[in-house]
Structure 1
Amino acid sequence: MESQRNILIIALLLVSFLIWQKWDEHQNPPVVAQQTTQTATGNNADDANFVPESDSVQVDGEVPTDAAAPASRNLITVLSDTLKLTIDTQGGDIVGTELLEHNDSLNSDDKFTLLSNTANFVNIAQSGLIGNDGPDANKAGRPIYQAEQHDYVLADGQDTLSVPLTFTNDNGVVFTKVFTLTRDSHVVNVSYNIDNQSAEPVVTQLYGQLKQSVNSVDEKSGNMLMASAYRGPAYSTDDTRYTKYDFKKVKEANLNLTTANGWVGMLQHYFVSAWIAPLEDGNQIYSRNLNNQGQAIIGFKAQPTTVAAGSTQTVSAELWLGPKLQKKMAAAADNLDLTVDYGWLWFIAQPLFKLLHFLQSFAINWGLAIILTTFVVRGVMYPLTKAQYTSMAKMRMLQPKLAALKERFGDDRQKMSQGMMELYKKEKVNPLGGCLPIVVQMPIFISLYWVLMESVELRHAPFMLWIDDLSVRDPYFVLPILMGISMFLIQKMSPTTVTDPLQQKVMQFMPIIFTFFFLWFPAGLTLYWLVSNVVTITQQWYIFRQLEKKGLHSKPDAKA
């Protein structure tokens, strides 16, 4: 270690580079999809790229891409303990979803709206039956379903709520579309019961798709340091556990992938809507860009189903509508929990989140859980911290001998370097020993940053006093200022090898620079760093007292 200056500059550059790298990754996900090829249902390339602008659709496996349903159509409201759905009877699409356990903003009683259909923004979940005899493949338009009532409510003591919608075609085939909601669940089961009482077999194909406006007037971007969360399509297949496919890529190339299961989703900060395809071979994942509507689609098509004359058959898929709850999403579909995107440091972030979750289970308060997590992390790192300050103390003791080497060899850098290495070897001093704790600490810092950014459990989570949301910055900047003061104290307590006055001035400004950066970080992250600094001050005081007893350390000069 040459000096504290180098350590702090390296730490600063590492923080800045990694956060910029993650911001760039969120804004520009890698391209992994292939260009659209011939579809499994036999459409040629022109048919596959055809996007109707009205309610008319193709019958040979082409999925409807009609505009969002106007408000004049009949709407049904479905209420469970976790979800409030608005279903359009034309097509049976979900055109509105409120998450009843999540407020829209911290000080609002309005519930968070996940799916919506407004003049400014469209975000809806569509599903239906296409194929030769599917009701959604009718050129006259999508089917108008009949419902027994306009409002459905999950009653007290009731575990499931089923909402049946029926449509009968001209041949007497009855299609019953059933939405099933379960208590304490964000999964909506969407099934089709096909009752074929005609004289001919019926061939249909289940599809589910998510349609969303590319631009959003309400979308918030990150500030100079806080990366904005990813919003856009994503999917999972047998070959790819989790892949973002942003709106730009949807515009450039249509997805056409085949998988035995998988899911397709629309992601946003803390929340996700996702169709979970049936567990069968031959599911097709696709995307479409609707230039004329400013919207994009990602969806799946299941294998065609043949229902013999005089028989019935049921096909179904599931739809996740809710927050990014890792445990519940993992139970709903393989790899759906990966939408909680911790980036390339997931192997550190995942254990950190589990530790936080465990500590919060008995601490109740997420802020206290962050403090306890800091104690655990710093406790584990204590041997490294002790080695760091021991190395710093030994380096300080070697300063007279290093000065003698400089006077002896003058400007001969090669001989000076050889002499320094021999001295370090003789005195058993590792010049890089003081850097290791910083190197270990920074990945933990970045990982915790993304845990706080991506974990919905911390959304609107209060700490105490003025900190009512740990996932956003301190509104009064108290924590960043305290963090800067603690960093200044650490600097004053630490032995230094810096003798140049200019370098000393630069060192004095480092706490101010770091305080400025932390002004924009989530309060939970700043709390972690502040408590970590307090623990460091305590450990540093204890370690230096032990070193003083061994004659390896003396109190730093007031001018240092």
Structure 2
Amino acid sequence: MEDNNRNLILATVLSFLVILIWYTVFAPEPPAEQSGGQPVTEQGQTVAPATPTAPSATTTADLGGDAAAGAEASVGRVLIKSPSLEGSISLAGGRVDDLLLTQYQETLDPNSSNVRLLAPSSATADPALDTAGAKPYYAVYGWTASAGTDPGLVPGPSTVWSVESGETLAPGQPVTLVWDNGAGQVFRRVFELDENYLFTVSQRLENNGDAAFSAAPYGIIARHGRPDTQNFFVLHEGAVGMHDGELVELKYKKIVDLDPLEREGRADLIPVNENGWIGFTDKYWMTTLAPAPGQAFTAVIKYAEAADIYQTEARYPMQTVQPGTQLTSTGYLFAGAKVTEIIRDYEETPGIQRFVDSIDWGWFYFLTKPIFSLLHWLNTHIGNMGWSIIALTFILKLLVFPLARKSYISMAKMKELQPQMEAIKERTGDDRMKYQKEVMELYKTQKVNPAAGCLPVLLQIPIFFALYKVIFVTIELRHAPWIGWIRDLAAPDPSSLLNLFGLLPFSPPAQGTLLHSLSLPVLAIALGVSMWMQQRLNPTPTDPAQKMIFAWMPWIFMFMLGGFASGLVLYWITNNVITIMQQYSIMSMHGHRPDLFGNIKAAIPKRSRADGGATKDGKPEGKGKGK
């Protein structure tokens, strides 16, 4: 039994240490406050950046300076309106730079504003746009002139476009922008939008001149300044992409640390032969460029240090358009929420390869993906994520039940051997080697595996981390309510023992803080009690050190997990309750009914019991025995 307890303690302590290190060492840091801005000269004058694909270390997609602000205010905008998005396209550069996610709010407050995804670089120039506090973040398209061709003959970030057709970009209502370079070439940009978050962008070059004309289309996503991130090591935020089946992830710090390449600044150039996409991802939101399947391009991740702008680019090969012909380059822009079902559908149509992997499934992706799929399926039938998590826990426990059954049967057999082990201990005294040898011979004779008891605990660790990942990164859990005061299963339980769960007239500590964890929310208390009750089903270890560890473990976990997502704590509580029921039933079926309530009474300090109480073996015991 001591070997069994030792293995169980080892598994529990290891899992505890992993979670403790995770929670303390890698806790999220306060978001970095970095403001975006324009590159300036030593004299303080604003520098107008070059064409985005020009090979320059200071290349940016920004319009640049006061001229940009004036252009933004004067040329107007094309409205965007769909069931999922609202915003506008600036005719200055033809940029998608104003986008709200209408199905998501910043907070749980009913009056909270919608989540803003994209914002223009000169927001103050257009008072009609409420972008206060939003860092510039936008998508811009253009063309690169061939060597020896005047760059002014192709549209760039500062080009002012005209609306040729369409008034509002909406599902089934495309908008076409047009620009004539005056030298025989006409450029058109056609925007289409579905009911969710996918823009189809077609760039057309019509050559009405007398000679061939060569140019290369491109798309850029630019972010001014480092965005506010979670700064959590288990969550990827930064550049994300796929090139020919290989996932690319680069955090903002790594982008800044890129080695400067000749004529490209700090950049990472990735050639894509057939299928790929590139962009920026946040925890729940993403903006991504996806060329048409089968289209070769160069994916670029770069940082313009002088302008403090992060960029991802899709650069297409140079194309030559003969007189009297035209060229069309079609790609896609995803700008929205990372809803698993939606982005998985985009893998089918239009065929964006492995797009669902833009969600950070983590190290245990082989568990995380099926667990999320099952949870999502349950939620579609139950209609409540909290009850779906409880149902998921029952299913997971059912799947591992054969292993758990063997464990509980082994514990019952170990209980049978308890008197013989006590006799061996009395006979061997302090000779640990002799004691261990005789105990192992007893195990071998009785065909008992002392390690079987810790297998369910070991199996629980990857399941726990996989479910943590599901709750932490998937938007389906964001602002998902359960019952009563639990209105966001992705956030910690907002209740607090410090204000007697709302009875006292002051606010509890902020969620996610260490003080909030110490304030003991309701779910944290329930977790500690359920772990303690589960522990009382097992015989108390004879070793004092083991006994002390077992005594403290439930309460340490209770305080430590108080700041975890309430959905994860709910899973753990449900798991403990099911384990208690399973263990009690199986051990009872094998003739060893645990005296759960007797053990609980024995564990309560300063509680005397009359003679005649029951021991774990069901035999009469004297007063104070079993403590």
TM-score range, shorter chain: 0.7 to 0.9
1:163-202, Cα deviation, whole Å (9 max, x unpaired): 11111002031111111112x2211011112221111122
| Rounded Cα–Cα distance in structure 2 between residues aligned with 1:486 and 1:25 | 27
Q: Distance in 2 between matches of 1:126 and 1:351?
A: 37
Measured after TM superposition, the shift of residue 527 of structure 1 is 0.8
Gaps of 5+ in 1: 28-51
Matched, 1:235 2:230: no
- Is the Cα contact below 8 Å between 2:82 and 2:196 reproduced in 1? no
Structure 2 gap segments, 5+ residues each: 29-45, 124-132, 259-266, 347-351, 496-520, 596-615
**1:347-496 paired onto structure 2 within 5 Å:** 347-409=366-428, 413-476=432-495, 477-496=521-540
1:424/1:269 CA distance change after superposition, 3 Å: same
Counterpart code for 1:67: D
Range with greater deviation from structure 2 (128-137 or 75-84): 128-137
Give how far 1:134 is off.
8.9
209, 216, 221: which is aligned to 2:220? 209
Compute the displacement of 1:408 (Å). Answer: 4.8
**Which residue of structure 2 lines up, in the alignment, with residue 504 of structure 1?**
547
Q: Give the TM-score taking structure 2 as reference length.
A: 0.77
SS at match of 1:449: helix
Higher relative contact order (CA 8 A, sep 6+): 1
1:298 and 2:304 aligned:
no
Of 80, 98, 110, the match for 1:96: 98
- Per the TM alignment, residue 275 of structure 1 is displaced from its structure 2 partner at its CA by 0.3
1:136–1:142 Cα contact (<8 Å) kept: no
Corresponding position: 1:193 with 2:237: no
Task: Note if contact 1:135-1:143 (Cα within 8 Å) is conserved in structure 2.
Answer: no
Query: How many residues end up aligned between the 2 structures?
Result: 525
Please state whether the residue corresponding to 1:446 is helix, strand or coil: helix
Could you tell me how far apart the structure 1 residues matched to 2:158 and 2:538 are? 73
Tell me if the contact between 1:470 and 1:522 (Cα under 8 Å) persists in the aligned partners.
yes
Whether 1:11 aligns to 2:12 is yes
**SS of residue paired to 1:374:** helix
Match of 1:112 in 2: 115
In the other structure, the counterpart of 1:559 is: 626
Residue from 148, 160, 165 that aligns with 2:172: 160
- 1:206-249 alpha-carbon deviations (Å, 9 max, x no partner): 21121113423x54455xxxx67332111211151x12112222
Could you tell me how far 1:136 is from its partner in structure 2?
7.3
Aligned-partner SS, 1:536 = helix
**Shift in Å, 1:92:** 1.1
1:411-463 deviation per Cα after TM superposition (whole angstroms, max 9, x unaligned):
55544433332221101110101001111111111110000111111111111
Q: 1:136 to 1:530 in 2, by over 3 A?
A: farther
Cα separation, 2, equivalents of 1:64 and 1:276:
21
2:254 matched to 1:249? yes
Matches within 5 A, 1:539-550: 539-548=582-591
Summarize deviations over 1:270-315 as a string: whole Å, max 9, x none: 1111100233454111122111222211111112222111112211
Kindly indicate whether the alpha-carbon contact (under 8 Å) linking 1:97 and 1:116 is maintained by their aligned counterparts in 2: yes
Specify the alignment match of 2:81 in structure 1: 79
> Per the alignment, do residues 136 and 483 of structure 1 end up closer, same or farther by CA in structure 2, a change over 3 Å counting?
farther
CA distance in 2 between counterparts of 1:365 and 1:383 reads 29
SS at match of 2:563: coil
Give the conservation status (yes or no) of the 8 Å contact 2:167–2:175.
no
Distance verdict in 2 for CA 1:550–1:141, change over 3 Å: closer
Overall identity of the aligned pairs, in %: 28
Q: Which of 39, 46, 54 matches 2:48?
A: 54
Match in the other structure for 1:513: 556
1:259 to 260, 272, 290: 272
Shift of 1:365: 0.7
Task: Quote the offset at 1:9 in angstroms.
Answer: 5.3
Q: 1:59 to 1:342 in 2, by over 3 A?
A: closer
Report the Cα distance in structure 1 between the residues aligned to 2:523 and 2:135, rounded to whole angstroms. 37
Question: For the Cα contact (< 8 Å) 2:141–2:157, is it kept in 1?
Answer: no
| Counterpart Cα distance in 2 of 1:206 and 1:12 | 57
Over residues 347-404 of structure 1, what are the superposed CA-to-partner deviations in whole Å (9 max), with x where a residue is unaligned?
1111111111111111011111111111111122222222222222322332343344
Q: SS of 1:299's equivalent?
A: strand
Between 269-278 and 246-255, report the one with greater CA deviation.
246-255
Could you tell which deviates more after superposition, 72-81 or 298-307?
Answer: 72-81
1:245 alignment partner, SS class: strand
CA distance in 2, matches of 1:23, 1:329: 33
2:504 maps to which residue?
Answer: none
Cα gap change, 1:149 to 1:492, in 2 (>3 Å): same
2 CA distance for matches of 1:193 and 1:95? 21
Query: TM-score with structure 1 length normalisation?
Result: 0.85
CA distance in 2, matches of 1:275, 1:106: 31
| Residues 298 and 19 of structure 1: CA distance in aligned 2, closer, same or farther (over 3 Å) | farther
Give the match's secondary structure for 1:2. helix
Kept after mapping to 2: 8 A contact 1:201/1:307: yes
Q: 2:361 is matched with which residue: 342, 359, 363?
A: 342
- Cα contact 1:160–1:180 (8 A) shared by 2: yes
Determine the structure 2 residue equivalent to 1:144: 160
* Higher mean displacement: 332-341 or 385-394: 385-394
One-letter code aligned to 1:294: D
Q: Pick closer, same or farther for the CA change 1:148–1:199 going to 2, 3 Å.
A: closer
Q: Is the 8 A contact 1:213 1:294 kept in 2?
A: yes
Distance change in 2, residues 1:378/1:177 (3 Å) = same
